Amino acid sequence: MSTSYTVGSLYAGVGGICMGFKNNGFILSWANEFDKNACKTYRNNFKHQLIEGDVMELDISTLDEIDVLTAGFPCQPFSVAGYRQGFDDKRGNHFFKILDFVDEMRPKVLFLENVKNLVGHDKGRTFKIIKELIEKRNYTFDAKVLNTKDYGNVPHNRERIFIIAFDKNMDSSFFENFEFNFPEKEELTQTIQDVITNEKVNDRYYYGEDKYMYPMLKETIRRDDTVYQFRRQYVRENKSNVCPTLTANMGTGGHNVPLIKTPYGFRKLTPRECFNFQGFDDSYKLPDIAISHLYKQAGNSVSVPVISRLSKCILEVLNSVEKKTVDDLLETI
């Protein structure tokens, strides 16, 4: 089918989700992000409308309606008792703001991303209400935890949960007993050496003998095919030959700093390498801002290849619905 579907992105970050949908021909209509530095990186790579500011203050009526609404949203607990009894405990909760978009725009697809622990958050109450409220709006509901190293062919141990929901009103018969087919696992062929640069980088990234932790690094970091983590008081080796989960605070000092052994000495990953471990290619442009912001952005991002595979599966469903609609119409002629 030749239909192009539009995407609106909430909590867009630096555009990892947007890039994954763009890779499969979706048209990016608009995006929203609160962090001013993430917005600088986003604008460096996308030309469509970016609304910088608090999602809670967005006037939904001013935005173009879209086919796909995406959101890598913050996870917050709900007051189950208050919710069940009809009390107004929705104010300030990001998931309920997402539902406002759903109610007003009625997108064909809702695409949500979160940490894998969302399922157990607040003893399971949060996930239960999310599922209940999405299904109540006559949407399908499918969720699965995917690891970047298994679904993105990038050597990065990063587990995230993805929730995919389709509007049943598109075709009630099509979505009767529907189950979304998540992508299959694929063989990991890329190695750490494929992602990091073999060249000497800026001296600022190296830990020389003048650093207090150098003896610890020299004693612990033995292999050049592994990404280690400096955890303030010790160095942790990742023995699975993939990069450990990159975190938002890895650029703020001595916690979760990803380290490697090179011919030029011990050093931390550069921001570009961290973006590479999230599946951004070299055409993705990093702005001239403090590297601490770039580390945070890479740690907060999603893995682009995983989103690309998911968006391809979503596209197949949308095209199948459209084809069925056309076929049904032709039968009536």
Provide φ and ψ at 27, rounded to 5°.
-95, 125
- Of 113, 47, 44, 23, which Cα lies nearest the Cα of 31? 47
List the one residue out of 3, 32, 27 whose CA is nearest residue 15.
32
Task: Identify residue 40 by its one-letter amino acid code.
Answer: K
Residue given tokens 């990742």 in the structure block: 238
Q: How many alpha carbons lie under 13 Å from residue 64 in its C-beta half-sphere?
A: 17
What dihedral angle (degrees, nearest 10) is formed by the CA atoms of 131, 31, 91, 164? 0
DSSP 3-state assignment of 163? strand
Residue 126's alpha-carbon distances to 81, 133, 319, in angstroms, are: 12, 11, 32
CA dihedral for 251, 119, 227, 210, sign (positive or negative): positive
Strand 27-33 and strand 6-10: the pairing is: parallel
Alpha-carbon gap, residue 190 to 175, rounded angstroms: 37
Cα–Cα distance, 203 to 266 (Å, whole number): 11
φ, ψ at 166 (rounded to 5°): -110, 145
- Pick from 306, 309, 313: nearest CA to 147: 306
Tell me the C-alpha distance between 156 and 240, whole Å.
10
Indicate the residue type of 278.
Answer: Q
Annotated active-site residue in 75, 243, 274, 313: 75
Token pair 């931390």 is found at 268
Catalytic site includes residue 274: no
Q: Which residues are part of the catalytic machinery?
A: 75
